[in-house]
Structure 1
Amino acid sequence: MDSQTIVAPMTPAGVSAVAAIRVSGSKVRDVIRLLFGESAIKNLKAREARLATARDYRTIVNGDRKTAQVIDSLLYIFFEGPNSYTGEDVLELYPHGNPIIVRELIQVIKSVECVRLAEPGEYTRRAFLNGRMDLVQAESVADVIHSANRDELKNAHRLLGGALSKKVKTLTEQVMDISARLELDVDFAEEEADPDYSTWGTKIEAIRESVQSILKSFKEKANVSRLPLAVLYGAPNAGKSSLVNALLGEDRILVSDIPGTTRDFVEVRLFLDGGEIRLIDTAGIADKASDALDALSMEKSKEILAEADMKILVVDGNNVIARNDSGACREQSVAEAIQPDLVVISKSDLRASQQDGNLHISSKTGDGLAELRQKMNAALFKKMENSEDLWITSEREKNCLEDALAGIDRTLSLIRTNPAVELIAFEMQLVRRSLQSITGEISSEDVLQKIFAGFCIGK
């Protein structure tokens, strides 16, 4: 393992109330001494938050430490290895979130011999190499950070907590037990009677079912992390843009009484209880285009609607003219060929409410907005089947499971043909290695490099 000490900010670049910097390695105490003086080392206690003034003691004038340049007044916490995130001595600094302060602190820390800037994912990589977590848990750290919805976040926490690791460890132990018995039969083949293949087959079949069950839970990360798309559409001046602004709680989109103000679709991000979604405000769809640009805008709106997970028809409450058999209101200027998932009647503050089965809202007063958010959340974040169980999103883990499954199938095929025990024992060794590769008991430098290269610096 790299013997150098590493430093990096844990918070994104930019201005904030508080920033965070992490230092990990054997030079942590030297860093504390440089920033806070010798007295800080003498009184150093693990896991104790301390308020102190960080100074650049390289700027001392005439040997007077009081002349050292003040960097910031901040909190710091020392974690003594191996009881830390990385398993090494760790220092966490919490200065004010001024980029100048963060940059200056890192520069001073890097001036200590054998201290360098951390590479992406290097803290978590060191945690894995030092036995603080296995490879499944290490991969799930990135999932926790980048989860796009609540279900995905819960699953990432289950993986980080070791739920999958425990399943794989149990399977590995079962395979190792069978392998040990097989190899024992190999060693004493001349002294024992023919092996009882039926007993082995039953146990291996049970392992196969468990591996296949985990493999079936695989979901592509791109699909799981994809933000659901809700699209508002309707006639010009139906109140779509006002509704977007009301849902966001800010004036994000230009609103006007002039029909056709929105000529192109506008996409924003909206947080619901289940997670973040993409919300699109489309150009109004009229029965007849006023010009070529208007026709192009309406065509673009229809294309966006084809991609939507939820189509919300916004109808101007002042222009509702009829009710069909199902109770849904229609508006003359809206293309009836587009089937909505939800009909919203806007501008309820300008007219008497009606019991027509539709959702009446007012972007001005906020009436109906909470119910709209609830309906959107229920439609876009449907409760997943077997939500108490977990799923995997790592292609690497999927490939390892497929290799294990293929090895098990070869083993079962060999058992049916009554072969030499040595062949079965060899196949089971391959199965064990595939399972151990999932948790990182067996791993190559190339695999580790690929996994942690996708992490952010500071994690």
Structure 2
Amino acid sequence: MSSSASGVPVLPDTIAAVATAVAPGQGGIAVIRLSGPMAQRVVRTITVFPGSQEWLSHRVLYGHVVAADGHERLDEVLVLVMLAPRSFTAEDVVEIHCHGGVIAVQRVMARVLEQPGVRRALPGEFSQRAVLNGRLDLTRAEAITDLVSARSQRAAQLAMAGLDGGIQRRVVALRERLLDQLSELEARVDFEDDLPPLDGRALLEELQEVRATLLELVADGARGAALRTGLRVALVGRPNVGKSSLLNRLSRRERAIVADLPGTTRDLLESEIVLEGVPITLLDTAGIRATTDEVEQLGIARSHDALASADLVLLLFDLAAGWTVEDQALYEQIPGAVPRLLVGNKLDLTNSAAEGAPSSPALDVRLSAQTGDGEPALVQALLAQCGSLSEQPLLIALNQRQSDLAARAAEALQRSEEVAAQGLPWDFWTIDLRQAIQSLGEITGEELTEAVLDRIFSRFCIGK
């Protein structure tokens, strides 16, 4: 890797990718992005620009991408030029804005890849170059992919908080506190006779304060995961207890067929909704019962699979009919590790003052999927499962990788209590403290190898 005159590292090859979604008949505009030392030359070679347009940084030029013969026009385009270091990757970046769809994009992209010195970008490679070139820190780069994949406004807000540097600032501040303590410890190891005594109790308190903050970040990360990925909620119950009616009510549309005939739902139906910023995927399962119908049996088999894969099982039963032996059998089939909500339906057909199911396990919600009575209580119960009802506002949220590293740092700091209790010398304290500092450095990218970076960015979409 060499350096440009501006001091920015220059990677040897130029990469290209379509940076927008491509689908037949969808999207009026598509963007093909190039980054690297050959970006300008490649686009100049394949594009004809009428008049005397100046090729300057942060200018938009108008022209046509032409075929290899130099005559056939493949598409009418706008070209956006961003020269190093004032670009997303801090390298020369050129974007070709062509018409959307499929064919036009494929023809222009093929012309780009025909040029020597350019190759198709790997997933996340633009963002990876931005990190390697010092344009972004790792937490901001990861926030970009969270923003792109956000499924709700609240998830997008959390991603923007990370993109604005909220996670970076919090983690760097904690790491700096630990580095200050490590420097004090190492000074005592080397020059203890020449320095005033170190207060071990104050040191331990400082380390445990950092640990407590890290545990709070881990807990907030779990709440943020629910906002990013949402909950998969399996609606299960005997045939004709109202699963499809409840799916339609929560979806605010007729997603499933509703009929009085048992066994109407033969397959697994999915519907995505957003409740107070939390994306929730509802899985309407086939009613589980003994049947000789082969198609219904396939649906029931998928219902059993949904029980095991769901984040939450909502077991629906008929309040009017009461808790039955079949309901109890279903209740016992729910995997023990999967949280559950027991919901009594058809409140409109029974005495609202009655318990409705005196022999059932603890009832969580009583409602009518037909009239909507009890729906707010059900929504609150669902939100409680993902921790979104906390009184503390969620300002930033670590992703899973970051949360795992923060938890590892907290574990290392926890061990300092054992070291203090045993009265071990200062150099023993430094072992766990260094591990905690390294874990926090892996969050921000200060302590990462290129192999780990490759693994992180491989999860990004191509073009980002």
Instruction: Report the TM-score range of the alignment, normalised by the length of the smaller protein.
Output: 0.7 to 0.9
Q: 1:107 to 1:192 in 2, by over 3 A?
A: same
Residue equivalent to 2:335? none
Q: Does 1:267 align with 2:269?
A: yes
User: Contact 1:49 / 1:75 at 8 angstroms: preserved in 2?
Assistant: yes
Q: Does 1:23 align with 2:23?
A: no
The 5 A counterparts of 1:55-454 are 55-56=65-66, 58-60=68-70, 68-219=71-222, 225-229=229-233, 231=235, 240=244, 244=248, 259=261, 262-272=264-274, 274=277, 276-281=279-284, 296=297, 309-310=313-314, 322-326=349-353, 341=365, 343-344=367-368, 346=370, 358-359=371-372, 380-381=382-383, 383-385=388-390, 386-395=392-401, 397-454=402-459
Amino acid at match of 2:270: V
Shift of 1:162: 1.9
Give the structure-1-normalised TM-score.
Answer: 0.73
Amino acid at match of 2:456: I
User: Contact 2:266 / 2:296 at 8 angstroms: preserved in 1?
Assistant: no
Q: 1:282 to 1:422 in 2, by over 3 A?
A: closer
Q: 1:384 to 1:93 in 2, by over 3 A?
A: farther
User: Contact 1:313 / 1:344 at 8 angstroms: preserved in 2?
Assistant: no
User: Contact 1:270 / 1:279 at 8 angstroms: preserved in 2?
Assistant: yes
Corresponding pairs, count: 417
Amino acid at match of 2:87: S
Q: Does 1:3 align with 2:3?
A: no
Q: 1:69 to 1:183 in 2, by over 3 A?
A: same
Shift of 1:6: 0.6
User: Contact 2:249 / 2:372 at 8 angstroms: preserved in 1?
Assistant: no
User: Contact 2:242 / 2:316 at 8 angstroms: preserved in 1?
Assistant: no
Q: Please give the secondary structure, in 2, of the residue aligned with 1:71.
A: strand
User: Contact 1:56 / 1:71 at 8 angstroms: preserved in 2?
Assistant: yes
Percent of matched pairs sharing the same residue: 23
Residue equivalent to 2:63? 53
In structure 1, C-alpha distance between the alignment counterparts of 2:77 and 2:315, rounded to whole Å: 50
Residue equivalent to 1:355? none
Q: 1:85-142 CA deviation, whole Å, 9 max, x = no partner?
A: 2122222233222312111111211233311100111011111111122222223333
Shift of 1:188: 2.9
Amino acid at match of 1:9: V
Q: 1:59 to 1:210 in 2, by over 3 A?
A: same
Q: 1:340 to 1:8 in 2, by over 3 A?
A: same
Q: Once superposed, what is the RMSD of the aligned Cα atoms?
A: 4.4
Pair member with larger Rg: 1
User: Contact 2:237 / 2:315 at 8 angstroms: preserved in 1?
Assistant: yes
In structure 1, C-alpha distance between the alignment counterparts of 2:32 and 2:225, rounded to whole Å: 31
Q: 1:177-200 CA deviation, whole Å, 9 max, x = no partner?
A: 222233333443333454333443
Q: 1:115 to 1:191 in 2, by over 3 A?
A: same
In structure 2, C-alpha distance between the alignment counterparts of 1:175 and 1:9, rounded to whole Å: 43
Structure 1: state its 5+ residue gaps.
61-67, 331-335, 347-357, 361-370
User: Contact 1:137 / 1:161 at 8 angstroms: preserved in 2?
Assistant: yes
Shift of 1:443: 0.7
In structure 2, C-alpha distance between the alignment counterparts of 1:206 and 1:174, rounded to whole Å: 10
In structure 1, C-alpha distance between the alignment counterparts of 2:348 and 2:47, rounded to whole Å: 75
In structure 2, C-alpha distance between the alignment counterparts of 1:423 and 1:247, rounded to whole Å: 58
User: Which range moved further: 113-122 or 298-307?
Assistant: 298-307
In structure 1, C-alpha distance between the alignment counterparts of 2:347 and 2:199, rounded to whole Å: 78
In structure 1, C-alpha distance between the alignment counterparts of 2:101 and 2:295, rounded to whole Å: 47
Q: Please give the secondary structure, in 1, of the residue aligned with 2:75.
A: strand
Q: Please give the secondary structure, in 2, of the residue aligned with 1:120.
A: coil
Shift of 1:343: 4.1
Structure 2: state its 5+ residue gaps.
2-10, 320-345
User: Which range moved further: 86-95 or 179-188?
Assistant: 179-188
Give the structure-2-normalised TM-score.
Answer: 0.72
Q: 1:29 to 1:414 in 2, by over 3 A?
A: same
